[in-house]
Amino acid sequence: MKMNLKNSLLVISVASFFAISCNVLSQEPKSAVSSDHVIYNERTSQIALNGLYSQLQNGNYYGGNLLVLGDVSSDISQSVGTWDFYRAMDTYTTNVGNLEVEDFWEQAYATINQANNIIAKVPPLDNVSQETKDQILGEAYFIRALAYFDLNRAFGGVEGVYGSMGVPLVLQPTNTITENSFPSRPSINKTYAQVESDLKQAIELLSGSSTPTRASEAAAKALLSRLFLYYQQDYGLVEKYATEVITAYDYQLLEDYASIFISEETAGSIFELSFTASDQSDIRFWYFPPSLGGRADIALHQSFVNLLQSRVNDERAKLIAFDDGVGVYYPTKYQKVSGKDNVIILRLAEMYLNRAEARTRKESPDLNGALSDLNIIRNRAGLADTTGAGVDTAREILDAIALERSIEFFEEGHRWFNLVRTERAMTVLNGIDRKNSGPVSLNEAGRQVWPIPQREIDANKNIEQNEAYN
């Protein structure tokens, strides 16, 4: 009996030990998939494309950060809270370690890499129809263009105004690090040229206007209209693309200005990002008071509030509220609880203002056309025409357009970029009032572009820093 017991125990112990040894080493991820097995048919291609939008809507990019950066560094918004990195942007003291600037840089490139994956991996698939491929690739090209455009205007600048180096161009997906992973900075216009090329690819591949939550041919044209304000200052092309967007599709300026934000996917929207309660944007969080679930870190400059409040009939001026905790006004375009407002990136009103600006600035100006476009925007906001109110010369019209842009697009992150590209930043951003300090000014021309994150400089010796931050 004893021998049997012993032997059976020994056999069981040894056998069970080796039986289980085989599979402990093959552990498969359960909440992720291998990059080799992610895009392999039509459905997975579509899902990777959804992921591309998801990259774009990340809180570090259009989910909040870029919109805050674009306004807080201008005369629209100010930092009133504790978050140093926005305060540094607000007070023109930012440095190479600015986390928010770095986050934006990184997320824009994450978006680009995702687009590169789609652009490289979808075409060889033989189980996806050409039509579907075109649609997927067209959207991917558009988003890549948008990311390069945003990067280049923030870190590169505008030729002829400030800046000479663009942001590095990476057009192939990265799956492992190789010697090709250390690009240097091309010229500013080389990067813009890539944006143009990608947008033209998108136009080739896409057609129509689709739903605004997806990239479309119209969106690509709208972005081209914006691009040429920065690139080559080719106002003929700005006007051409703006006109195409205005006329060739069914977009309309909504009667009710606020409804473009309150409703989703309206006729006034060319490209917007879809946010839901489980996939929220941060923009409201940064502006709203704590009692409403926000952080109250960013608010409007009082001078801008004064401007809005001086325009009694302006529908747009109504989209602000007072935070009596901090004693400041904050914008309420994006106000839905749990941050589920769709974020609008391109809308029809901008096409009118782009065209107005182009018509004023092109070689043979069309000032009447420009004023007509400008007044379309003013009238929609409940205001009278500007004609006869001292807006006659090209300079005055451009000033009026700039003013209209600031009011039309506050909280949407346009202002800083518009000021820089129109060479107004150094003069306008002078003695800007702040809640928590004396007035601040942008005194250094080099600060019209943001610092390349030090992390990037450290990781890639081929990258050159912008001169103001060396």
Q: Kindly tell me which residue out of 132, 183, 232, 396 binds another protein, with binding defined by CB under 8 A.
A: 183
Q: Kindly tell me which residue out of 42, 81, 258, 403 binds another protein, with binding defined by CB under 8 A.
A: 81
Instruction: Give 249's contacts (C-beta < 8 A, 6+ positions apart).
Output: 208, 209, 218
Q: Phi first, then psi: what are they for 66, rounded to 5°?
A: -65, -35
Q: What is the largest CA-CA distance in the chain?
A: 114
Minimum CB distance to another protein, residue 93 (Å): 6
Q: Which stretch binds another protein (CB under 8 A): 45-53, 218-226, 239-247, 442-450?
A: 45-53
Minimum CB distance to another protein, residue 173 (Å): 8
Q: What does the DSSP assignment read for 71-133?
A: HHTTTSEEE-SS-HHHHHHHTT---TT-HHHHHHHHHHHHHHHHHHHHHHHSTT-TTS-HHHH
Q: Kindly tell me which residue out of 41, 129, 181, 309 binds another protein, with binding defined by CB under 8 A.
A: 181
78 versus 375: smaller Cβ distance to another protein: 78
439 binds another protein (CB under 8 A): no
Q: Phi first, then psi: what are they for 276, rounded to 5°?
A: -130, 175
- 3-state SS string for 324-388: CCCCEEEECCCCCHHHCCCEEEEEHHHHHHHHHHHHHHCCCCCHHHHHHHHHHHHHHCCCCCCCC
Instruction: Give 189's contacts (C-beta < 8 A, 6+ positions apart).
Output: 159, 166, 231, 232
339 φ/ψ sector (left φ>0, alpha ψ -120 to 50, else beta): left
Q: Coil, helix or strand for 455?
A: helix
256 versus 279: smaller Cβ distance to another protein: 279
Which residues, 231 to 260, sit near another protein by CB under 8 A? none
Which residues, 407 to 436, sit near another protein by CB under 8 A? 436
296 versus 300: smaller Cβ distance to another protein: 296
Q: Which long-range contacts (CB under 8 A, 24 or more apart) does 146-150 make?
A: 146/56, 146/223, 146/345, 147/56, 147/108, 147/109, 147/111, 147/112, 147/115, 148/108, 148/112, 148/191, 148/194, 148/195, 148/198, 149/192, 149/195, 149/223, 149/226, 149/227, 149/230, 150/61, 150/66, 150/108
Which residues, 279 to 318, sit near another protein by CB under 8 A? 279, 290-297
Which residues, 313 to 342, sit near another protein by CB under 8 A? 325-326, 337-338
Minimum CB distance to another protein, residue 384 (Å): 39
Minimum CB distance to another protein, residue 135 (Å): 15
Minimum CB distance to another protein, residue 400 (Å): 35
Q: Kindly tell me which residue out of 21, 127, 130, 310 binds another protein, with binding defined by CB under 8 A.
A: 21
10 versus 394: smaller Cβ distance to another protein: 10
Minimum CB distance to another protein, residue 122 (Å): 13
2 binds another protein (CB under 8 A): yes
4 binds another protein (CB under 8 A): yes
Give the span between the Cα atoms of 339 and 405, in whole angstroms.
25
179 binds another protein (CB under 8 A): no
Q: Which stretch binds another protein (CB under 8 A): 123-131, 166-174, 308-316, 346-354?
A: 166-174
387 versus 436: smaller Cβ distance to another protein: 436
52 binds another protein (CB under 8 A): yes
Q: Which stretch binds another protein (CB under 8 A): 44-52, 300-308, 372-380, 419-427?
A: 44-52
156 binds another protein (CB under 8 A): no
Which residues, 95 to 124, sit near another protein by CB under 8 A? 95-97, 105-106, 109-114, 116-117
